[in-house]
Structure 1
Amino acid sequence: MTPSTDSDEESSPSPQPIARDAHSVPAAVVSEEQVTYPLPTRWSDQARSPSLSVSHDGREISHHGANSNNEKDHAANARANHHVPPACGIFYYEVEVKSKEQKSHISIGFGSHTVKFTRLPGWEKESWGYFGDDGHVYENGRGGGVAYAQPFGSGDFIGCGIDFTNHKIFYTKNQAYLGYVFDDVGKNGELYPIVGLRHPGDSVRVNLGHEPFHFDIEDHVQQQRNATWTTIMKTPLDSTLLHRRYHKNAIKSLLTNSEPPSALTEDESKSVLNQLVLSYLIHHGYAKTARAFHKQQNGNGKIPENSDVDMDCRPERAEPDDFEGDIERRTGIVNSVINGDIDTALEDTRKHYPAVLDADDGLILFKLRCRKLVELILETNEIRRRMSNGKEREGSPIDLGPSLSSTNKFISRPPTTADLETALTRAIEYGQSFSDYKTEKRPELRQMFEQASSVIAWHDPLEAGGPTAEVAGPEARIALANEVNEAILKSQGRPVRPTLEMVYRHTSACMTQLGVNGVGSAVFADMSRELLET
């Protein structure tokens, strides 16, 4: 279809896009905690030609004739209520053509908010369209179109998608894929789904995900995801990842050095990856698994002392003489905290890692003492609960349940009032021992003690909800156990997080930032989906 000869003076510019509440519509999520973008959900009631009417549900637009300006050819367009965020990777919508003619004078595509409402997409700058009357495609108002596919008309379902991984548009017709067209689409501004109609009586109904598409868009997206991951996996590791000497001026070197860093050999790459896995196993105390993994890779079951990947400059480590024994001792302390046996955890930490309890003005020591107070209160509450429901069995120990079982001494008989008083007195006396901290100025420590003490007010603190349930629950034990583990590693000059986790976090943050910056392929490098979900 040849563009209308309307001059710019005869056409009125469309208004700036109207801000909408992003929480009222589905969103393309870039980061679960940071950024969400609204997606198009309907035709806009405002961003349209007066010659077009929008249905109540916002999905159908109809051409009802020329407006008061009496345009020559009645060309009119409407755009969606939101622009397409590049962070979605691929965006696709379908239009059902309801024209009266077999070949309709309708254009389907994308355009910016600057496209005039009296022009079909493709006739104007910053617009692209596929025309039904001749099957040609037009872009950026460049005059004659280019043959692309068959014409379309009444009863056809035309799909239009934009792929931000290559900045091209693609079309489908009645389930058939027609291929990519145009270049550099969406690189310089926000684009909206836009449809133009030229004749009164023409109408289209849009599907923006309201119902299943005729074309298998999920398969198309999966193909692009696979292509992205193929590119990622083919990218060689280079020497900047391997040696400390590259790190101080790594960014400056990459920006100024015309020669790319040398790629690692296959053996060097495997060595780095094996070290990443081994350091992760050691960090979390999987000594047997680490030993078996190292033996499988090197034929030697002895875990190397220098097992951390040199990904960053770190302080020199004071390696223990018995490295594997150190893993077992550290793991034992962590497990004691997880099991609620705080006395054993404190005793072993004082014996093997006394610096941990002194670090940060005794912060870990204070947290462990608060946890012991919670455990004593939980034991008291459990005795009270057993006495009140009368379900004790003679000779049976008091069971704190699988999630809150403790290694504190059990009463191997039905509890009595004396047992309750003894347990309560023990908890109160231990709470009073915190008077050692009466001159403590740190507000976070005071808050920890208040939260720990609040557990005593509840017969069942897990049912209390809020901070009380968080303090009393098993998750609090696990969180404290992780802190103790990190504190021990820090006292040895070792990284507080395994390098593998640091690499994962760094890569995830990079993918998020790339998505925010409009790099469409970043959405297909979904770390959680590809590596963590089963």
Structure 2
Amino acid sequence: MVAHQEAEATTTTTTTVDPMRLASRWRSPAEWVATAAALDSEPMPSELNTANSSGLFAVVSVDKMSVKYLGVNHHGHDVGVVQADCPAPMHRAVYYFEMTVRNAGLKGQTSIGFTTESFKMRRQPGWESQSCGYHGDDGYLYRGPGKSESFGPKFTSGDIIGAGINYIEQLLFFTKNGSLIGAFPKDIKGPLYPTIAVHSQGEELTVNFGKEQFCFDIEGYILEQKMTRQSISDKLYLQPDISHWIVRSYLLHYGYQDTLNSFDAASETDPPANHQTGYGEPPEMYGLSHRKILRQLIMNGDIDSAFKRLEEWYPQVLKDDVSVICFLLHSQRFIEYIRAEQLEGAVKYARANLANFLAHKAFEGLLKESVALLAYEKPSESCIGYLLESPQREFVADAVNAAILSTNPKMKDPESCLYSCLEKLLRQLTVCSSELRAFNSDQGDVFLLHKEIYERSRRP
């Protein structure tokens, strides 16, 4: 069956493949830095806002980290309330800050919470709509006019009180002296500013926006929240052989024939039936032995042999000599010259085979970086040394693999040559994560698959 498919491929028209969409597409360190910077570009609260505060009743210290009440508490509007210099960041699992009650003053009417940008700066957090506050004099939680409830213990001089936003579960929560007091639904819209308030003579508070270690174990809390979410996923029912089938289809898709055989042997079960059609041989079986050999050749750096085998088995893949597949193979052959320290051979090869691609904008980035390897005495230690590492070979091998799969006359969906079933599931996960964030007004962790893979690959 496989031999018949491989012979049939020589007369089949190739579907256009865009390897730059492959999951293994090369990423330079500069790209990863730019991606991480974009995700972390949100400003973080770092000090109290002296400009937007009820300055008549409170004074902020020179370092903008403490506030003290200076007014006279005649009525409810004589509040010294201060917001942070910017709203809490939203592209994360949890945001948290703390305040220390340096002095509870005459009445102990200190408070902590979150408010919006338009909050009236002469009111306690929680006394107006679109705000919430945990108050020290009575231990009550306030969430708008007429919305107060017994929440936790009172707090006074020496206590450390924390306030946080749990974007995973869309909750607000408060802590006292390192212990969680309680949480409640986050029903306030828009960006929220960390806010503290003093309301009677002698009251003084100091904030910690993360420059110093928190009293509350916020990292442990975040891990617990993520584990709780994970446990919910773990309890979801899956068809008994679904994981076996997904892994097996991944190995088939990328031509890992030896690993596939070992996987089947280790499972001690017959290969699961094809869940796509319900019968027959899965389309990923197409050209399996050829794809295995080509992957091995490319991963070993033997690009010349890979060219010869492709010309013999799948000439239509190389028919267009300025196609992306031809470019990737030629650029990889050039890189192999550099790896072998054959600079003269690299220059001759580039002039003969890479010059044809100079006019193609799509290849400009990789072409420039590949040729730039010639400029370094030790290319492997340069900023583009990643091109000499195995992930670059893997990307080229994946591109060739996709091109071969695209010649399968039974491959009805062109996307199938680019992604395995496992990768399609991960793409769906990314989309669902984005949709969930959009539903929550773009609040919560940004799930970026490449970033997750990159960070995991760097862990010891």
Q: TM-score range by the shorter chain?
A: 0.7 to 0.9
Map 1:290-369 onto structure 2 (within 5 A): 290-297=260-267, 299-300=269-270, 310=276, 317=283, 320=286, 326-358=287-319, 362-369=323-330
Which of residues 262, 285, 288 in structure 1 aligns to 2:255?
285
What corresponds to 2:66 in structure 1? 60
Question: What does residue 185 of structure 1 align with?
Answer: 187
> Retained in 1: the 8 A contact 2:47–2:65?
yes
The amino acid across from 1:148 in the alignment is F
1:132 aligns to 2:136 (yes or no): yes
Opposite residue 505 of structure 1, the aligned amino acid is: R
2:127 to 113, 118, 123: 123
- Deviation of 1:454 (Å): 6.3
- 1:397-427, CA deviations, whole angstroms, 9 ceiling, x for partnerless residues? xxxxxxxxxxxxxxxxxxxxxxxxxxx5x76
TM-score, normalized by length of structure 1?
0.65
Quote the offset at 1:103 in angstroms.
5.1
Which of 373, 381, 384 does residue 342 from structure 2 map onto? 381
Is 2:452 the counterpart of 1:491? no
* Structure 1 residues 172 and 442, CA gap change in structure 2 (3 angstroms): closer
Does residue 223 of structure 1 match 2:194?
Answer: no
Counterpart Cα distance in 2 of 1:272 and 1:86? 35
Work out the CA distance in 1 between the residues paired with 2:420 and 2:391: 21
Residue 363 (structure 1) shift? 3.9
Of residues 166, 169, 172, the one that matches 1:169 is: 172
CA offsets 1:314-373 (integer angstroms, 9 cap, x no match): xx95964xxxxx434322222222323222111111222222212686442344344435
Instruction: Quote the Cα distance in structure 1 between the aligned partners of 2:370 and 2:218.
Output: 53
- Deviation, 1:500, is 0.6
Q: Is the 8 A contact 2:91 2:446 kept in 1?
A: no
Q: CA deviation at 1:164?
A: 3.4
Residue identity opposite 1:289 in structure 2: T
1:372-413 Cα distance to aligned partner (Å, 9 max, x none): 35545665737xxxxxxxxxxxxxxxxxxxxxxxxxxxxxxx
Q: Verify the 8 A CA contact 1:174 1:215 in the aligned structure 2.
A: yes
- Paired residue type of 1:477: R
User: Partner amino acid for 2:229?
Assistant: T
Q: CA separation in 1, counterparts of 2:79 and 2:367? A: 72
CA separation of 1:42/1:453 partners in 2, compared to 1, >3 Å: closer, same or farther?
closer
Shift of 1:48: 0.9
Per the alignment, do residues 519 and 437 of structure 1 end up closer, same or farther by CA in structure 2, a change over 3 Å counting? closer
Q: Secondary structure at the match of 2:241?
A: helix
Aligned match of 1:514: 436
Paired with 2:443 and 2:194, the residues of 1 have a C-alpha distance of 20
Structure 1 match to 2:151: 148
Aligned residues between the structures: 411
What is the CA-CA distance between 1:477 and the residue it aligns to? 3.5
Pick one of 22, 30, 43 that aligns with 1:38: 43
Matches within 5 A, 1:347-426: 347-358=308-319, 362-376=323-337, 381=342, 424=344
Indicate which of 395, 417, 442 corresponds to 1:479: 395
Q: What one-letter code is carried by the residue in structure 1 that aligns with 2:420? A: P
Query: Residue 160 of structure 2 corresponds to which residue in structure 1?
Result: 157
Quote the Cα distance in structure 1 between the aligned partners of 2:350 and 2:284. 37
Percent identical among aligned pairs is 25
Match of 2:424 in 1: 502
Contact 2:104 2:110 in 1 (8 A): no
RMSD: 4.0
Distance in 2 of aligned mates of 1:342 and 1:327: 19
Q: Secondary structure at the match of 2:240?
A: helix
Which residue does the alignment assign to 1:462? 379
Partners of 1:378 and 1:165 in 2: how far apart?
46
CA displacement 1:438-496 (0-9 Å, x = unmatched): 9x9645568877776666x65746179466x5666665434322222221222233522
Distance, in Å, in 2 between the alignment partners of 1:211 and 1:525 is: 28
Q: Report the equivalent of 1:49.
A: 54
- Structure 1 residue 125, shift from structure 2 partner: 1.5
Conservation of the 8 A alpha-carbon contact between 1:88 and 1:520: no
Contact 2:106 2:200 in 1 (8 A): no
Give runs of aligned pairs for residues 86-125 of structure 1, distance below 5 A: 86-101=90-105, 104-125=108-129
Is the CA contact 2:90–2:444 (under 8 Å) kept in the aligned structure 1? no
Q: Shift in Å at residue 277 of structure 1?
A: 0.5
Q: 1: distance between equivalents of 2:285 and 2:91? A: 45
* Cα separation, partners in 2 of 1:293 and 1:442, compared to 1, 3 Å: same
Decide whether aligned partners of structure 1 residues 443 and 140 sit closer, same or farther in structure 2, where only a CA change above 3 A counts.
closer
Q: In structure 2, give the amino acid aligned to 1:506.
A: Q
Report the CA distance between 1:169 and its aligned residue.
Answer: 3.0
**CA distance 1:192–1:446, shift in 2 (3 Å):** closer
2:155 partner amino acid: F
Instruction: Output one character per residue of 1:95-118: Cα deviation in whole Å (capped at 9) or x when no partner.
Output: 111225475011221121222111
**Residue type of the partner of 1:343?**
D
Task: State how far apart, in whole Å, the 1-side matches of 2:404 and 2:121 are.
Answer: 67
Contact 2:167/2:444 (8 A) holds in 1: no
Provide closer, same or farther for how the CA distance between residues 508 and 380 of structure 1 changes in structure 2, counting only shifts above 3 A. closer
- Counterpart CA distance in 1 for 2:119 and 2:60 is 19
Name the residue aligned to 2:242.
272
Write the letter of the residue equivalent to 1:127. S
